[in-house]
Structure 1
Amino acid sequence: MRFTATTRTVAALGATTALLAGIATATTAHAGPAQPEQPPQAVKSQAQTWEPQKSGKVASVRGSAQIFYAYSANDTIRFTVDAKSAPFTRPFDGAPKGLPTDARGTLSFSHYDPDTDTDKKATAEVDCLVTGGKTATVSAVIKETGEPDRRIGISFQQGEKGRPDRLGFSWGVANVHGLPGGGVGTCLAPAPFAPVVKGGYKVVHTELPPLPDGAIPGQYS
């Protein structure tokens, strides 16, 4: 089911105001690699200390919040997520042991447009999660309403020091040259561009897990 844009669409960006409309039409130029905050040796040393059995931590993002989307400023848009890391649990052709970012959980979202008095909703199954500090990127495949079997990408940022939480979604201001049908690859999402105005998210970060025995050389490089 595809929802069309309203007259409030911003022509300069080509962004649709309907939350479930599909591909947006803006891309972001890459400004070059950022300089690491720590020497590579220090980062590698930290990664080698990852021991889930001892730490008891599992990467996750949970919560529910209403966001402010600049191109649908009067609409009520809400995302709810409960995602948890489950490394190497989703094997597929080319990755027989799965991926270190495999995950499980659910994601749902809704978009109420007061101008038309319509409330559009969708539910998706989480298949990928990667975290970094207080930021998490999730992908999920739509299973109910919306566009079934389409993968979407969502980013979450837990605010710190009084800053609001934030969220980004793959069809909002990005993915103009994405996969056929407007889908995205696993764990791919734009930066969290939309501030949360009600509710919030909690991100638990862990380092990526070590590769399993028998991993194909170069498979993850």
Structure 2
Amino acid sequence: MNRRTKTAVLGAALLLTAGAAGSATAGDDTDKRREAAALTGTAKLYRVAGDDITFTFDAHLAAKDNDDPMKASGTFEWSHYSLDGEGGWAKAKVDCLVTGGKVAVVSGVVTDTDLDGVEGVRVGITVHDTGGIDRLGYSWAASEDLGTKDLPKCVSSAPFERVKKGTGDFRVVPWQPGF
């Protein structure tokens, strides 16, 4: 085989190998598309009285469920204790997640808690990931009751609370609905 033929054969082999690798990589990228929406992170709220109030989120909407935010999964939890140690905690299973830009609204049903009468109620929380001092709001802001079984999914209040400086690491992945 002359040099020119060897070079052509080697070049064709390299192109076939690169093409096959490129196809495998493209398939892998499709399978690993970014999730449709997410809210993750932990922060403490700022309170003049010194209460210890912490919110933690691990909420996700898979790419395959992009058109249905009520297929979101994950959990969120919070605790609120005054300086004298009074208070409680709760954990909820996510049932809806909608995000837009750096704002997320997540709702869920309380599955575990040490608070009387709260298990089984739906609550909603709004987070604004400012990149600085984040903000947070919750569905029970204008009510004496923590939640209700009748609260619709993905309902909360404006993010009126400030996160304590240096504690917020919320991350919102913006949703891009297909309509």
Q: How many residues align?
A: 142
Contact 1:108-1:124 within 8 A present in 2 as well:
yes
**Match in the other structure for 2:126:** 155
Is 2:57 the partner of 1:81?
yes
Using structure 1 for the length normalisation, give the TM-score. 0.57
Q: What corresponds to 2:43 in structure 1? A: 65
What letter corresponds to residue 100 of structure 1 in structure 2? D
The two structures, once aligned, show a CA RMSD in angstroms of: 2.9
Q: Which structure: greater helix fraction?
A: 2
Q: Which of 201, 210, 214 is the aligned partner of 2:170?
A: 201
**Long gaps (5+) in structure 1:** 1-51, 90-98, 211-221
Aligned to 2:24: none
2: distance between equivalents of 1:55 and 1:205?
17
Identity of aligned residues (%): 37
The TM-score with structure 2 as length reference comes to: 0.69
How far off its partner does 1:69 sit? 4.7
2:140 maps to what in 1?
171
Residue by residue over 1:155-193, the C-alpha shift from the partner in whole angstroms, topping out at 9 and shown as x without a partner, is 011114xx3111111112x368xx8x4752100111111
- Give the alignment of 1:1-221 within 5 angstroms: 53=30, 56-58=33-35, 59-69=37-47, 73-86=49-62, 100-102=68-70, 103-115=72-84, 117-145=85-113, 146=115, 147-160=118-131, 163-172=132-141, 174=142, 181=148, 183-197=150-164, 198-210=167-179
Is contact 1:87–1:100 with CA below 8 Å preserved after alignment? no
Match of 1:92 in 2: none
Aligned partners of 2:63, 2:95: CA distance in 1, in Å?
10
Shift of residue 153, structure 1, vs aligned partner:
0.4
User: 1:100/1:111 Cα in 2 relative to 1: closer, same or farther (>3 Å)?
Assistant: same
